[in-house]
Structure formats: C-alpha cells, structure tokens
Amino acid sequence: MKNKIIIFVGMFACCAAHATDYIDMQIRELQQRRDELRAELDACEENTRKFKIAGVATLGATGVGVVGNIALHNEIKKIEQSKNGGGYIGGRSDGGGHGLGHISTEQKVDIECETFADLPCEDLCEAGYNCPQCTCSE
C-alpha cells in the first residue's frame, strides 16, 4: 500500500510539474505577443503624430499662400488700374479724389514710379511703366 501511495504522489508531482511548465510557457508566449503588439502600437502612434504635424504644416503653408495670392492680386489690380488710367493718386473710391488729368505725362510717370517704388523694375517694365530709375528694354 505504501508503494502505491508513493507512486501516486510521484505521478501527481510529475503531472503538477508538467502543468506548471506548460502554464509558464503560455505566460511567456502571451508576454512576448503583448510586447510585439505594444511595439506595433508605438510605431503606429509615431506615424500618426508625424501625419498630424505634416497636416498642420500643410495648412499653415496653404494659409500663407492664400495671403500671398491675395496681396499679389491687389498689386496687379493697382498696376492695371494705373496703366489703364483708372487709378487716382490720393483719391477716394467714390470719385472725390483728384485725378491725374491736370498734370503732365512726366509728372504722372514720376508719381506712378513713386507709388510702386517697392516693386522690382522688371514688374514695372512689364506693366508698361518707364520709370527713370529703371532701364526697360522695349
């Protein structure tokens, strides 16, 4: 009877040891899988962060481009109005300003060149202004 009990206890110990090893192996596999998934999640979060930064930068650049286009449009509009004789220097939009009809052509050119002094000579020449400080080749 003692032998049977010893054999039974020995078999129980072997089964318990094997079960413990199996559980430990499953725990290690689950921990390894958790670590792999965590690494994938971290990589995805980093990409998402980069995409957000790129999106904000794109929106900022678009805003700057829109403002630049509006400013450029206004400058072109000024040049076209002055070129067509529709502009008033110091005038009001309701027609209450003084026109350029009472001064000479040279004075008109000088006034227009002073008005658009911040523009490069290439732009002034292209718009048809022959300012004294610019050498336009016709």
pTM for this structure?
0.36
Write the pLDDT tens digit of every residue in 20-71.
Answer: 677 788 889 999 999 999 999 999 999 898 888 888 888 888 888 888 889 8
Side-chain half-sphere of 32: how many Cα atoms within 13 Å? 6
Residue type, 57: A
Q: Is the pLDDT of residue 84 over 80?
A: no
Q: How far, in Å, CA of 130 to CA of 110, rounded?
A: 9
Domain boundaries, the chain: 1-53, 104-138
Q: What burial letters (b/e) apply to 14-23, b meaning 16+ CB within 10 Å? A: eeeeeeeeee
Q: What integer pLDDT is reported at residue 63 of this predicted model?
A: 86
Write the pLDDT tens digit of every residue in 85-114.
Answer: 654 444 444 444 445 556 666 666 667 667
